[in-house]
A and B are shown apart, each in its own frame.
Chain A
Amino acid sequence: MKKIINKKTGLILSPIMLLTALCMMLLQGCEVVKTAAKVGEEAGILTSQQAAGIEKTAAAVERSQEEITPSEEYYIGRTVGAVITNKYKVYQVDRATRYINELGQTIAVHSDLPETFGGYHFLILDTDEINAFAAPGGLIFVSRGLLRCCNNEDAAAAVLAHEIGHVQHRHGLDAIQKSRITSAVTTGLLEAGKNLTYAQVAELTTIFEGSIRDITSTLINNGYSRAFERQADQAAVVMLQRCGYNPQGLVDMLRVMETRLKPGALDFAQTHPSPATRITSIRESYGAFSPVNQGLQRQERFKRALAGI
């Protein structure tokens, strides 16, 4: 009799508990669900098989969502930044570097990802190419050629906001081949709180090198998808509006860029949708903006800081 009641109660209550656990998983994150599955098992509500099933699902969701932590993203970004600054010369005019950091770090406060592990930092590349790169975690590089497409601070703000948009959406990490991270996860190399042997560090470094190659070849040679560029432009418009910049600055900059891009050049001509396409897409999402007011005090400091660009 006892066994029958137990079975019946189990049959009725187990699905309810499973459902509760899954709902909580959606609401509160995977670690909690894994703990809950254990608690459920200990309390005799879930069989060990059911508990293991929930744990496994939670772990899989967790891996796909947060394979790379902000601290790992930071180390990836540093190395991507190192590769970029070894390929390009850095424009060493303190006044200009300081200004784009004041501008960029102020805008970043109003992104959807205001804090990253190591923060947002900006550097100008000494090249005529029309180019910019956002390394994961917030190291952002813009070329003199691209800054020359900006006639006002609102336009320069748009350039930086677009790159912050790529960081916010973690587009760089998306360029990493999934198989690399999967192999690091399955071999336990990415496990928290674990000291690795030298051989394991070497294996992990090989995966790291591959990941860096994936990202830099996307940034430098292939470019992101049109969808990612549209996302970055949209993020830029939102950030600009939040700070009080006129998003028309983005359109103005794209118009100048359109006249300067050389077909076949290894820069935005190759890695980005055409300025006309981007303008159309911005128009479709936001309509037209009013013209940028160039009489503001910000125009003075923009000219002063980037006089020699």
Chain B
Amino acid sequence: MKKKKIIIYAVVSASIFLLTALASAATTMSIQVRETQLRATPDYFGKIISRAVYGDQVAVEGAKGSWKKVRLKKTGRTGWLNSSALSAKEIKLLAGAKGTKGAASASELQLAGKGFNPEVEKEFKNRNRQISFFWVDKMEQIVISDAEKQKFARDGGLTLSGNGGR
């Protein structure tokens, strides 16, 4: 009977260990967009606390609607991020990119993405020289700032809450 108790005790401890592992693993998420901003409040017009780039890891500390309160692991700063910027999967960077921490720019880090990445685009361009990326590169530079969006909404009598969808 003593042996039985020991075994049950061992299995229960293992279960607790397993559940703890599940819980702690679930609170870490990765930035899946090129660049985003941690906000003081859960909306797109909240004060910017910190910048985060592709592959950065965050600890999730809370949630409100489609927003998550997170702590950016590399700086320890806390703020709100929209769920669309976050992935539950760890984003693994290529070996060459791992050394480029800290000072690395977003454009350098995105080189590390898996699968269809700049390397593939480069090879595509080599094979299809008649296809120009001029307009695609140009349109990506058109970015309307938060302040400009707010002015656009105000001037047009829109009801822009900045809460994002859902």
Contacts and interface: CB of A to CB of B under 8 A. Distances in A.
B153 interface: yes
B139 interface: yes
Interface of A: 1-2, 5-6, 9, 13, 17, 20, 24, 28-29, 31-32, 35-36, 39-40, 43-45, 62, 66, 68-72, 74-76, 78-79, 81-83, 85-86, 90, 97-98, 101-103, 105-106, 109-119, 121-123, 139, 153, 168, 184, 189-196, 201-202, 204-205, 208-209, 211-212, 238-239, 242-245, 296-298, 301
Interface of B: 3-4, 7-8, 10-11, 14-15, 17-19, 21-22, 25-26, 32-34, 36, 44, 54, 66, 82, 84-85, 87-96, 110, 113-121, 123-124, 127-128, 130-136, 139-140, 142-144, 148-149, 152-153, 155-166
Contacts of A212: 124
B114 A45 contact: no
A195 B96 contact: yes
Given A2-B3, A69-B115, A71-B32, A205 B124 contact: yes
Contacts of A204: 115-116, 120
Given A45-B11, A71-B32, A298-B156, A112 B94 contact: no
Given A36-B22, A85-B136, A301-B155, 11 more contacts: A9-B4, A44-B14, A79-B133, A101-B144, A106-B152, A113-B84, A115-B36, A116-B84, A118-B33, A205-B123, A298-B156
Contacts of B25: 28, 31-32, 35-36
Please give me the 6 A-B residue pairs with the lowest Cβ-Cβ distance, nearest first: A193-B92, A244-B159, A112-B165, A43-B14, A298-B156, A192-B92
Given A86-B130, A301-B156, A75 B142 contact: no
A116 B18 contact: no
B3 to A, nearest CB: 6
Contacts, number: 245
A72 B7 contact: no
B144 A105 contact: yes
Given A35-B25, A184-B115, A242-B165, A71 B139 contact: no
A189 B120 CA distance: 11
Given A29-B26, A31-B25, A117-B34, A6 B7 contact: yes
Given A111-B165, A117-B34, A192-B92, A28 B26 contact: yes
A306 B54 CA distance: 36
B135 A85 contact: yes
Contacts of B88: 28-29, 31-32
A9 B133 contact: no
Contacts of B93: 193
B57 to A, nearest CB: 13
B113 A69 contact: yes
A196 B119 contact: yes
A271 B18 CA distance: 52
Given A118-B140, A193-B95, A106 B149 contact: yes
A296 B166 CA distance: 28
Contacts of B84: 112-116
**Residue of A20, A110, A191, A297 most packed against chain B (CB within 10 A):** A110
**Residue of A44, A101, A106 most packed against chain B (CB within 10 A):** A106
A153 B157 CA distance: 12
A216 to B, nearest CB: 11
B19 A20 contact: yes
Contacts of A9: 4, 7-8, 11
